[in-house]
């Protein structure tokens, strides 16, 4: 569903956080960076005493275009934070509010999904207070599960905050401009469209000609005859042009034609499965895909099928076994192995879909297809706006020449 009309939106950003366990420097840097981009931001500075969230805070969530949820060590101990989370996800479901998660400090996406570590202790404490069968308690658990399936930007204490703050602000801008581009009152004539294109991600002249909408990267023996075949059929039904490699993969080197197909795709869907990392072809594909994302702005959608994002991010479980074998072949300090590890970590930190959260396959497939259609529409709108800018520049140039 579409977000509520822009006339009813008072704030660009609602910032939900547990103030006493997130660094003041991080929160202040994030708020300053958002304000610098002229984002009207609201933060709950009230003392979070008592169990009930105020009506004014609920209204602020409703009047915000984007909500940023900062999960931290003691986030779930605060019942007001959990009530905010429920309201935010409710507003996302009803009006399409954009929601972005930040996993701060020692908290990972998997900790939120499984309610482990301090989140588990917090819920146990709430269970004793409210009772195991409490509707409120179950709403909180469901909200944490649902949130774990959304976008994550991982923030670690050991990494400079400014790097991640910039990433978060850039992501918010991309998402909010995508939403605002559909609001008629935000686009009045060519001049307003030109003003917006100045802030859009640049489309390089060296961007390759796109032949495909989607490139599917997957480990064939894990998913080819079940999930991939269903996803491919669903995408094709929506007239989405897909490149899918049906060849038997022999040898260690990826074929030039496959590299070209990646470059000629607008979106890459990477399906991580149990034995994905055991295939050097898959790992080389992933490196190339992220290279195209960096150079040309290709959109990358990871899908975690039968495996946790944390296993991909940290190369644990079957991914650890796969790299142990690669080390025997290429050497522990091989640059190739380091590239593969870096690529896996980067990919696991992108917005994606998780079969452990959405375990009904046809529901997962439908959500991915809907996501792809939305992103293709977004890419199309950028191309159109950049095209308008180019034509106006040409007209202005011509007028200046005539005046001279």
Which positions are annotated as active-site residues?
285
Phi, psi at 379, each rounded to 5°: -60, -40
Distance CA 300, CA 292 (A): 9
Helices assigned H by DSSP within 331-360:
335-348
Distance CA 240, CA 237 (A): 7
Select from 46, 49, 44 the least CA-distant residue to 31.
Answer: 44
Q: How far apart are the first and last CA of the chain?
A: 52
Sheet with 41-43: list strands edge to edge: 41-43, 11-17, 64-71, 98-104, 152-155
Distance CA 345, CA 9 (A): 36
Select from 87, 111, 107, 108 the least CA-distant residue to 97.
Answer: 87
Phi, psi at 29, each rounded to 5°: -65, -40
């Amino acid at each position: 569903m579409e977000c509520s009309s822009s006339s009813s939106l008072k704030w660009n950003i609602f910032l939900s956080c547990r103030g006493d366990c997130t660094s003041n420097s991080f929160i202040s840097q994030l708020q300053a960076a958002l304000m610098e981009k002229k984002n009207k931001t609201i933060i709950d500075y009230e003392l979070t005493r008592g169990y009930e969230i105020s009506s004014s805070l609920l209204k602020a969530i409703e009047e915000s275009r984007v909500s940023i949820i900062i999960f931290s060590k003691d986030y779930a101990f605060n019942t007001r934070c959990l009530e905010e989370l429920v309201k935010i996800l409710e507003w996302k479901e009803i009006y399409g509010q954009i929601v972005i998660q930040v996993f701060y400090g020692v908290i990972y996406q998997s900790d939120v999904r499984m309610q482990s570590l301090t989140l588990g202790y917090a819920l146990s404490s709430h269970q004793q207070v409210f009772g195991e069968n409490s509707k409120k308690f179950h709403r909180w658990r469901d909200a944490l599960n649902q949130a774990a399936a959304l976008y994550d930007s991982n923030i670690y204490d050991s990494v400079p905050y400014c790097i991640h703050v910039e990433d978060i602000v850039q992501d918010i801008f991309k998402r909010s401009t995508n939403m605002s581009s559909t609001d008629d009152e935000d686009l009045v004539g060519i001049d307003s469209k030109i003003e917006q294109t100045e802030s859009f991600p640049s489309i390089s002249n060296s961007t390759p000609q796109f032949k495909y909408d989607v490139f599917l990267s997957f480990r064939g023996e894990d998913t080819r005859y079940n999930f991939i075949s269903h996803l491919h059929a669903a995408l094709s039904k929506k007239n989405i042009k897909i490149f899918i490699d049906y060849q038997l993969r022999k040898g260690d080197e990826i074929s030039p034609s496959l590299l070209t197909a990646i470059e000629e795709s607008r979106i890459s869907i990477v399906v991580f499965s149990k034995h994905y990392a055991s295939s050097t072809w898959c790992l080389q594909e992933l490196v190339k895909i992220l290279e195209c994302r960096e150079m040309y702005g290709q959109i990358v959608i990871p899908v975690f099928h039968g495996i946790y994002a944390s296993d991909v991010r940290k190369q644990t479980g079957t991914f650890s076994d796969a790299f142990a074998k690669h080390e025997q072949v290429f050497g522990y300090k091989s640059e190739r192995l380091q590239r593969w590890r870096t690529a896996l970590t980067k990919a696991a930190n992108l917005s994606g879909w998780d079969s452990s959260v959405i375990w009904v396959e046809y529901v997962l497939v439908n959500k991915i297809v809907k996501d792809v259609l939305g992103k293709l529409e977004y890419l199309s709108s950028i191309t159109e706006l950049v095209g308008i800018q180019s034509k106006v520049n040409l007209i202005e140039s011509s007028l200046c020449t005539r005046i001279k």
